[in-house]
């Protein structure tokens, strides 16, 4: 019994050291984001983010059926994307934004990679009903880049992995590590939902600054809800907030930034 107790104490000490190192490493990497006004735990430099996006760009294009072979459509998206970036606070960032229309006609999606690589499927683009709605989608994705969400998620995953390793050491078995991993995944999910809401807010901000109607983003949420067939996971177990929640937050952002514009703050 004494030997078993001694073994647990050793594992506990080692586990605490592993956890402490993971937490220290996470919190020691900090930088201030002038656009969002936040201190962020990110170790990647903007140059590294840009390179990550460039490294993954061709792979994502290939996985999505290639680029949509209609130059007029591509130029249309490029022009709206350039408006969003050049006429908003996004222009203050160092990222060389590029917008890509993917040929996938069945997937209704848009996403951003680190460093300014932004993608929209033709399956989503054909569902959008106005230039303002396209601006809403692109503004949201630019928001992910500006807020450095990918870089933040990478740091959180590193922290989670460190804490999972510490739990495995202390528990002395795989089950405790698996349980810790499940909890860690739930924590990272909540951050993912917060990221989506923040990108909606930034999208509204950039749309207003670029002269687009921000209420069009509400229509985008309705289109996405319709595309999902009205079926979704409960919000607490999903990486994306419910459409109703997002619409409410978008309305609040429109009021906030609309009033800021009228008062001359932007």
Beta-carbon contacts of residue 210 (< 8 Å; ≥ 6 apart): 83, 84, 86, 87, 88, 135, 139
Is 201 one of the annotated active-site residues of the chain? no
Residue 159 pLDDT = 47
- Residue 141 or residue 154, greater confidence: 141
Q: Using the predicted structure, report yes or no on whether residue 71 has a pLDDT greater than 50.
A: yes
pLDDT band at 258 (very low <50, low <70, confident <90, very high): confident
Residue 140 pLDDT = 96
pLDDT band at 226 (very low <50, low <70, confident <90, very high): confident
Q: Using the predicted structure, report yes or no on whether residue 233 has a pLDDT greater than 80.
A: no
**141, 155, 196, 201: the active-site residue:** 141
Beta-bridged to residue 98, according to DSSP, are 117
Residue 199 pLDDT = 95
CB 32 within 8 A of CB 38: yes
pLDDT digits (tens, 9 = 90+) for 148-205: 998 887 776 664 554 455 444 445 554 444 444 444 454 444 447 889 999 999 999 9
What counts of helices (H) and strands (E) characterise the chain? 9, 5
- Stated as kind and residue range, the H or E segment containing 112 is strand 110-113
- Residue 232 or residue 97, greater confidence: 97
pLDDT digits (tens, 9 = 90+) for 100-118: 999 999 999 999 988 999 9
Beta-bridged to residue 142, according to DSSP, are none
* Listed ranges 7-16, 49-58, 134-143, 238-247; the one with the highest mean pLDDT: 134-143
pLDDT band at 266 (very low <50, low <70, confident <90, very high): low
3-class secondary-structure state, position 47: helix
Residue 128 pLDDT = 97
- Residue 77 or residue 156, greater confidence: 77
């Amino acid at each position: 019994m004494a030997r078993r107790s001694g073994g647990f104490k050793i594992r506990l000490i080692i586990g605490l050291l592993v956890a402490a190192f993971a937490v220290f490493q996470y919190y020691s990497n900090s930088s201030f984001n002038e656009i969002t006004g936040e201190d962020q735990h990110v170790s990647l430099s903007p140059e590294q983010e840009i390179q990550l996006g460039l490294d993954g760009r061709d792979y994502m294009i290939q996985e999505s059926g290639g680029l949509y072979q209609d130059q007029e459509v591509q130029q249309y998206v490029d022009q709206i994307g350039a408006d969003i970036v050049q006429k908003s606070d996004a222009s203050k960032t160092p990222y060389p934004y590029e917008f890509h229309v993917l040929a996938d006609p069945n997937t209704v999606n848009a996403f951003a990679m680190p460093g300014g690589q932004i993608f929209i499927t033709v399956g989503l683009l054909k569902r959008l009903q106005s230039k303002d709605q396209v601006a809403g989608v692109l503004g949201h994705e630019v928001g992910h880049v500006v807020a450095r969400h990918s870089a933040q998620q990478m740091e959180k995953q590193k922290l989670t992995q460190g804490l999972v390793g510490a739990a495995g050491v202390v528990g002395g078995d795989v089950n405790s590590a698996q349980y810790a991993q499940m909890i860690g995944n739930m924590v990272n999910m909540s951050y993912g939902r917060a990221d989506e809401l923040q990108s909606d807010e930034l999208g509204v901000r950039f749309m207003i600054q670029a002269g687009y109607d921000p209420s069009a983003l509400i229509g985008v949420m309705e289109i996405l809800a319709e595309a999902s067939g009205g079926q979704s996971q409960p919000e607490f177990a999903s990486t994306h907030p419910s459409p109703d929640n997002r619409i409410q937050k978008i309305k609040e952002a429109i009021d906030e930034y609309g009033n800021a514009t009228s008062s001359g703050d932007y």
